[in-house]
Amino acid sequence: MEEAEKTFDNEQYRKTYWHTCSHILAQALTRLYPGVKLAIGPSIDEGFYYDVEFPESFSQENLKDVEKEMRKICKEKNQLERFELSREEAKELMKDQPYKLELIDGIPEGDAISFYRQGEFTDLCAGPHLDATNQVNGAGLKLTSCTGAYWRGDEHNKMLTRIYGIGFPTKEELTEYVTAKEEAKKRDHNKIGRELEYFTTVDYIGQGLPIILPKGARVIQTLQRWVEDVEQKRGYLLTKTPYMAKRDLYKISGHWDHYRSGMFILGDPDDESAECYALRPMTCPFQYQVFLNRERSYRDLPMRLNETSTLFRNEDSGEMHGLIRVRQFTISEGHLIIRPDQLEEEFKGCLDLAKYVLDTVGLLDRCTFRFSQWDPENKNNKYEGTPEQWEEAQAAMARILDDLGVKYTVGIDEAAFYGPKLDIQFRNVYGKEDTIVTIQIDMLLAARFGMVYTGDDGSKKTPYIIHRTSLGCYERTLAYLLETYAGSLPTWLAPEQVRVLSIKDSVVDYAQGVVDKLCALGVRAESDFSANTLGYKVRSGQKAKVPYMIIIGEKDLENQTVSVRYRNGEDLGAMTLDAFAEIIKQVIDNKEKK
pLDDT category at 557 given cuts 50, 70, 90 is very high
Question: Three-state SS for 385?
Answer: coil
**Predicted local confidence at residue 316, as pLDDT:** 82
pLDDT category at 377 given cuts 50, 70, 90 is confident
pLDDT at residue 123 is higher than 70: yes
**Predicted local confidence at residue 1, as pLDDT:** 62
Whether a cis peptide bond, with omega within 30° of 0, leads into 420 is no
Q: Which residue would you say has higher pLDDT here, 384 or 230?
A: 230
Average pLDDT, the chain: 94
Q: What is the mean pLDDT of residues 35-61?
A: 93
Between the CA of residue 166 and those of 7, 50, 52, 216, what are the distances in Å? 16, 12, 17, 34
Q: What is the mean pLDDT of residues 43-70?
A: 93
Name the phi and psi angles at 409, rounded to 5: -100, 165
Strands (E), 339-475: 368-373, 409-412, 421-427, 433-442, 453-454, 460-461, 464-473
Q: Which of 107-111, 349-353, 577-581 has the weakest average pLDDT?
A: 107-111
Other CB atoms within 10 Å distance of the CB of residue 199 = 24
**Predicted local confidence at residue 56, as pLDDT:** 86
Name the phi and psi angles at 68, rounded to 5: -60, -40
pLDDT at residue 4 is higher than 70: no
pLDDT category at 402 given cuts 50, 70, 90 is very high
Q: Are strands 328-338 and 303-312 parallel, antiparallel or unpaired?
A: antiparallel
**Predicted local confidence at residue 444, as pLDDT:** 92
pLDDT at residue 390 is higher than 80: yes
Distance CA 480, CA 497 (A): 20
Helix H or strand E segment including 401: helix 387-404
Q: Which of 165-169, 321-325, 421-425 has the weakest average pLDDT?
A: 321-325
pLDDT category at 420 given cuts 50, 70, 90 is very high
Strands (E), 176-256: 199-200, 211-212, 237-238, 244-246
**Predicted local confidence at residue 379, as pLDDT:** 67
**Measuring CA to CA, which residue among 32, 37, 169, 11 is closest to residue 99?**
37
**Predicted local confidence at residue 430, as pLDDT:** 83
Q: What is the mean pLDDT of residues 15-41?
A: 96
pLDDT at residue 5 is higher than 80: no
Distance CA 432, CA 427 (A): 5
pLDDT, tens digit, for every residue of 177-230?
Answer: 999 889 888 999 999 999 999 999 999 999 999 999 999 999 999 999 999 999
Question: Three-state SS for 341?
Answer: helix
pLDDT, tens digit, for every residue of 471-491?
Answer: 989 999 999 999 999 999 999
Q: Which of 47-61, 151-165, 510-524 has the highest mean pLDDT?
A: 510-524
Residue 358 sits at the vertex; the CA angle it makes with 357 and 359, to the nearest 5 degrees, is: 90
Instruction: Tell me the percentage of the chain whose pLDDT exceeds 90.
Output: 88
Q: What number of residues does the chain have?
A: 594
Ordered structural domains, the chain, with CATH:
3-173 (3.30.980.10), 199-484 (3.30.930.10), 498-589 (3.40.50.800)
**Predicted local confidence at residue 447, as pLDDT:** 95
- What's 37's DSSP letter? E
Question: Three-state SS for 142?
Answer: strand
CB 305 within 8 A of CB 236: yes
Instruction: Tell me the percentage of the chain whose pLDDT exceeds 70.
Output: 99
- The separation between the first and the last C-alpha atoms of the chain, rounded to the nearest angstrom, is 47
**Predicted local confidence at residue 448, as pLDDT:** 95
pLDDT category at 304 given cuts 50, 70, 90 is very high
**Predicted local confidence at residue 140, as pLDDT:** 95
Distance CA 355, CA 361 (A): 10
Strands (E), 420-528: 421-427, 433-442, 453-454, 460-461, 464-473, 498-502, 525-528
Distance CA 105, CA 590 (A): 61
pLDDT at residue 234 is higher than 80: yes
pLDDT at residue 33 is higher than 70: yes
Q: Which residue would you say has higher pLDDT here, 46 or 588?
A: 588
Question: Three-state SS for 250?
Answer: helix
Helices 63-75 & 11-32 angle (0-180, nearest 10): 110
pLDDT, tens digit, for every residue of 60-85?
Answer: 999 999 999 999 999 999 999 999 99
pTM of the predicted structure, to 2 decimals: 0.83
pLDDT at residue 370 is higher than 90: yes
pLDDT at residue 57 is higher than 90: no
**Predicted local confidence at residue 2, as pLDDT:** 65
